[in-house]
């Protein structure tokens, strides 16, 4: 590792260790820091809630700033020792990554569908996404799972690693705070249409680079690279979300399946553009293929972001000498 900045190595080692911990153990069953953050954000929401964008912006700013500042303070202390800095990065990486839990939930629904147990699959789907599963058939459930795997590969894996590469442990944890707030208040219900506006917009901004990197890495990891590239470039911007369509369209092309279309969120129905309209419908077997693709994309993202941080830190260190 000659020539590599000594300040970059603890992050690289910590990110690798944290990724390995997520792959081996998944999310902690009890006392998850993200759940603790959600409870604290919920209490602050009850104190600040007003049907106004300004109140929501204040809520979002306080929550994210508290996490980032706290992590930065701990990093400042831990950074005095390489082992401490690496341990902090490992803990933060394990905390924010959700790749193993994502695959586990997807495979649980897939196993129920393979067994012909639609009721069990419908009960489990809300662990992955907010759609109403009550009227979904086998093919629609499989499609929902594959779309959730694609979108959450970006949110739960790649984006976190991107912000870790940019800002270390504070970047990892701040991104997870932003993403969690969006899930809590960023939807367009009567209560959150105004209050959640800031959280939703901040999540869009924070998710922009990782969504596009996810699509690029999906193309690189695909067996059908030409199809993945074509569908991503043609359909990636058709999704109503500025970011979700990037990963979903690339996954559609990589897997050779058709995604998008009509969605049900309780009483609300959304008619979204179809991604990969010329491809075949999703089958139950595609759930496992999507999980394997997600793992390949995650590994590529880990390597890409760690290499980027090493390179930037090394170049910066040389310029100061």
Query: For the segment 226-283, what is each residue's pLDDT rounded down to a tens digit?
Result: 999 999 999 999 888 889 999 999 999 999 999 988 765 555 666 788 999 999 999 9
Segment 5-63, tens digit of pLDDT: 566 789 999 999 999 999 999 887 677 889 999 999 999 999 999 999 999 999 999 99
Residues 6+ apart with CB under 8 A from 202: 60, 64, 178, 181, 182
Query: Average pLDDT, whole number, for the chain?
Result: 91
Q: How far apart are CA 98 and CA 115, in angstroms?
A: 26
CB 68 within 8 A of CB 173: yes
Whole-angstrom distance, CA of residue 271 vs CA of residue 252? 18
- In this prediction, residue 319 carries a pLDDT of 54
Q: Give me the mean pLDDT over the 140-159 stretch.
A: 96
- Asked if residues 246 and 232 have their Cβ atoms less than 8 Å apart, the reply is yes
Q: 137 or 4, which is more confident?
A: 137
* Opening angle at CA 4, ends 8 and 308, nearest 5: 60
Question: What is the average pLDDT across 194-201?
Answer: 97
Whole-angstrom distance, CA of residue 209 vs CA of residue 160:
11
Cα 121 from Cα 59, distance rounded (Å): 36
181-199 as b/e: b if 16+ CB within 10 A: bbebbbeeeeebebbbbbb
Residue 74 buriedness (CB in 10 A; 0-12 / 13-18 / 19+): middle
pTM (whole model) above 0.85: yes
Give the per-residue pLDDT at 196. 96
């Amino acid at each position: 590792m000659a020539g590599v900045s000594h300040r970059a190595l603890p992050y690289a080692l910590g990110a690798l260790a944290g990724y390995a911990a997520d792959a081996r153990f998944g999310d902690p069953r009890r006392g998850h820091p993200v759940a603790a953050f959600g409870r604290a954000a919920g209490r602050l929401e009850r104190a600040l809630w007003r049907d106004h964008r300004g109140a929501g912006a204040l809520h979002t700013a306080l929550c994210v700033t508290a996490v980032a500042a706290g992590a930065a303070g701990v990093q400042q202390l831990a950074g005095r020792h390489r082992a401490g800095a690496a341990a902090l990065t490992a803990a933060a990486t394990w905390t924010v990554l959700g790749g193993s839990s994502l695959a586990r939930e997807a495979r649980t629904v897939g196993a129920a569908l393979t067994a012909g147990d639609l009721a069990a699959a419908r009960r489990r789907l809300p662990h992955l996404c907010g759609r109403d599963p009550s009227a979904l058939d086998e093919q629609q459930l499989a499609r929902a799972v594959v779309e959730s795997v694609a979108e959450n590969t970006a949110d739960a894996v790649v984006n976190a690693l991107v912000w870790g590469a940019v800002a270390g442990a504070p970047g990892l944890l701040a991104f997870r705070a932003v993403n969690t707030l969006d899930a809590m208040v960023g939807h367009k219900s009567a209560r959150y249409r105004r209050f959640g506006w800031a959280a939703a917009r901040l999540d869009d901004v924070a998710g922009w680079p990782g969504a596009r990197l996810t699509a690029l890495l999906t193309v690189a990891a695909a067996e059908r690279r030409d199809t993945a590239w074509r569908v991503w470039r043609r359909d990636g911007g058709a999704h109503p979300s500025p970011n979700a369509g990037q990963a979903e369209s690339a996954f559609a092309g990589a897997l050779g399946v058709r995604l998008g279309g009509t969605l049900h969120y309780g009483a609300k129905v959304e008619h979204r553009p179809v991604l990969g309209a010329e491809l075949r419908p999703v089958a139950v077997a595609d759930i496992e293929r999507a999980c394997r693709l997600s793992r390949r994309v995650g590994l590529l993202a880990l390597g890409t972001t760690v290499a980027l941080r090493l390179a930037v830190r090394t170049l910066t260190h040389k310029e100061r000498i």
